[in-house]
A and B are shown apart, each in its own frame.
Chain A
Amino acid sequence: MDLFIEQTVSGIASGAIYACLALAVVMIYQAIDHFNFAQGEMAMFSTYIAWWMIDPTAGLGLPFIVAFFACIAVSFIGGAAIERIVFAPIANAPVLSHIIVFIALFSIFNSLAGFLFDFTPKQFMTPFTHDPLIEGIVSYHRAGMVLVTLVMLALIYVFFRYTPVGLAMRAAAAAPDSARLVGINVGMMLSLGWGLAAAVGAVAGMLIAPITFLTPDMMLGTLLYGFAGAVVGGLTSPFGAVVGGFLVGIVENLMGTFVVGSQLKLTVALVLIIVVLLVKPAGLFGRVVVKRV
């Protein structure tokens, strides 16, 4: 029973990360209708930027909290710039062009990180310490991870639900022509969406790096879990993506411990994606958008 509780709690903690990534994925999916395969690598690169800001020998030696927010700001600008420079010109291109660009971004960020910061795993600090909060079950860092995730989600929810700009972003993504006719600058909204997604990804990266160590490949597996979370929760629902992320974390941990063994953990995520797509394609919380002709 202890093991069960321990694994569930640990699942919730990793779920927090998946939730962040799932949320970033859904935000971009909502804006441009495609999965951003490079989401994980963008998050990884952001984390390197934070590491560089913090590290006293190789970098700037800034305090963690300053670097944390500076990294979010830089990532936001970087994400918005990627949309402007790379995606705006191909806005009307077929899906395949987008996918190729995603793959290009993926390998660019991956190689660039290796080139700039080399491939040796680096330790990334946490402001929460790794000391146990509840002995044998959860550390301060993992609890902090969940807390930061929840706060960020709440902020994003409020932004999309209750601010005019949030509403305009949703409108621009769903019906660009109509959006222009009410005076919304659609390109700017897309850019803003990319910036937000990159910022959310940066937070996810900075939270997970203290556990996985910082390497150019740290996000590979995590992103798959993030995708699984997004699909399970529903690609049309940011809230669903978050719940999906937590669910995937818990299921993955429990299955890994009690059923399939830790070797097959990643497979659990992939099976989840397939099952959900077969049984409930809209996801658990995704709205099947009603259209009337």
Chain B
Amino acid sequence: MSLLEVKGIKAYYGQIEALHGISFALAEGEITAVLGANGAGKTTTLRAICGMVRTTGQVMLEGENVVGMSTEKIVARHKIAHVPEGRGTFTRVTTEENLRLGAFTRRDKEIEQDYERVYHYFPRLKERRSQQAGTLSGGEQQMLAIGRALMLRPRIMLLDEPSFGLAPIITEELFRILAQINREERVSMLVVEQNANLAINISTTAYLLETGEVAMSGPAKDIMNDEQVRKSYLGY
């Protein structure tokens, strides 16, 4: 059974249908990339999984259809951590309070030691632990967003354009750490990216979205070698 299976979902902003019946699956422990140009529906797909946009169809998480369930309930029940577009930093509170918020649904006693786990991946955050989060740099805020997601001890992480607005050197480091987190924490990941090269490199499976539909899918290596994809999305 797939950890996450999406069957024929349509998503709506008001009257406008933004996704026209998308299906895909995310296998346990894998990284799956969702590629596509602007407006292809990548962000909407992630929002639909988390119940943040009106959706029809089926989103099966661990065998349960979560369409129609509230966002906070989906998060709490299925340990699904969404790192949103624009990072979703709680700007008015400190770095460490942001991390604490990530663990909001947890009731165990190990929250304190999980700060250290996050700092192990992102030592920069430790230096900034008591700083107001709104004053962190873009890269640091992206690290914080991923750190906050880790604090949930997620089974699945949804990452919406982690490279957005970051210098290439930071982006590369970020993806290296994402791959490391995937290995060490056994977290399955669904990565939405415009920077197809980066995403495909760490992924096993890839989906290509075009105007709200799945245009192509398969093992990341095959997608990467497809002539059409290379020309349109990889640029060589």
A interface residues (Cβ-Cβ under 8 A, vs B): 164, 167-168, 170-171, 174-175, 177-186, 287, 289-292
* Bound Cα distance A168, B104 (Å): 8
Partner of B84, one of A168, A181, A289: A181
- Given contact pairs A287-B92, A290-B134, enumerate 5 new A-B contacts (beta carbons under 8 Å): A167-B93, A178-B84, A180-B70, A182-B148, A183-B72
Q: Please state if A289 and B101 are interface contacts (CB–CB under 8 Å).
A: no
Least CB distance from B187 to A in Å reads: 16
Most buried by A among B84, B91, B101, B152: B101
* Bound Cα distance A170, B98 (Å): 11
Q: Please state if A290 and B88 are interface contacts (CB–CB under 8 Å).
A: no
A-B contact pairs, 7 of them (CB 8 A): A175-B90, A177-B84, A178-B90, A180-B72, A182-B102, A292-B134, A292-B135
* Bound Cα distance A92, B200 (Å): 39
Q: Hey, which chain B residues are within 8 Å of A170, CB to CB?
A: 92-93
Q: Hey, which chain A residues are within 8 Å of B135, CB to CB?
A: 290, 292
Residue of A nearest to B71 (CB): A180
Q: Hey, which chain A residues are within 8 Å of B100, CB to CB?
A: 164, 167
Most buried by B among A180, A181, A186, A291: A181
Q: Please state if B91 and A171 are interface contacts (CB–CB under 8 Å).
A: no
Q: Please state if A185 and B91 are interface contacts (CB–CB under 8 Å).
A: no
Known contacts: A182-B102, A289-B134, A291-B134. The answer to whether A171 contacts B90 by CB under 8 A is: yes
B interface residues (Cβ-Cβ under 8 A, vs A): 50, 52, 70-72, 75-76, 81-82, 84, 88-93, 97, 100-102, 104-105, 132, 134-138, 148, 152
Least CB distance from B100 to A in Å reads: 6
Partner of B88, one of A168, A175, A289, A292: A175
10 shortest interchain CB distances as A-B pairs: A178-B88, A183-B105, A180-B71, A183-B75, A183-B76, A181-B82, A183-B72, A182-B104, A174-B92, A185-B72
Partner of A167, one of B50, B72, B97, B148: B97
Q: Please state if A178 and B89 are interface contacts (CB–CB under 8 Å).
A: yes
* Bound Cα distance A182, B100 (Å): 10
Q: Hey, which chain B residues are within 8 Å of A164, CB to CB?
A: 100, 104
* Bound Cα distance A292, B105 (Å): 28
Q: Please state if B101 and A168 are interface contacts (CB–CB under 8 Å).
A: yes
Residue of A nearest to B145 (CB): A178
Q: Is chain A's binding surface mostly helix, strand, loop or mixed? A: helix
Q: Hey, which chain A residues are within 8 Å of B81, CB to CB?
A: 181
Least CB distance from B75 to A in Å reads: 4
Q: Hey, which chain B residues are within 8 Å of A182, CB to CB?
A: 75, 101-102, 104-105, 148, 152
* Bound Cα distance A290, B134 (Å): 6
Q: Please state if A183 and B50 are interface contacts (CB–CB under 8 Å).
A: no
Partner of B104, one of A174, A177, A183, A291: A183
* Bound Cα distance A55, B132 (Å): 50
Least CB distance from B210 to A in Å reads: 27
* Bound Cα distance A180, B84 (Å): 11
Residue of B nearest to A293 (CB): B138
Q: Please state if A171 and B134 are interface contacts (CB–CB under 8 Å).
A: no
Q: Hey, which chain B residues are within 8 Å of A177, CB to CB?
A: 52, 84, 88
Partner of A290, one of B72, B84, B132, B137: B132
Least CB distance from B172 to A in Å reads: 23
Known contacts: A183-B105, A184-B104. The answer to whether A291 contacts B72 by CB under 8 A is: no
Least CB distance from B69 to A in Å reads: 12
* Bound Cα distance A289, B138 (Å): 17
Q: Please state if B71 and A167 are interface contacts (CB–CB under 8 Å).
A: no
Known contacts: A181-B50, A181-B84, A292-B135. The answer to whether A174 contacts B90 by CB under 8 A is: yes
Known contacts: A167-B100, A289-B134. The answer to whether A181 contacts B93 by CB under 8 A is: no
Least CB distance from A163 to B in Å reads: 11
Q: Hey, which chain B residues are within 8 Å of A184, CB to CB?
A: 72, 101, 104
Q: Hey, which chain B residues are within 8 Å of A291, CB to CB?
A: 91, 134
Residue of A nearest to B88 (CB): A178
Least CB distance from A4 to B in Å reads: 40
Residue of A nearest to B106 (CB): A183
Q: Hey, which chain B residues are within 8 Å of A185, CB to CB?
A: 70, 72
* Bound Cα distance A164, B103 (Å): 10
Residue of B nearest to A188 (CB): B72
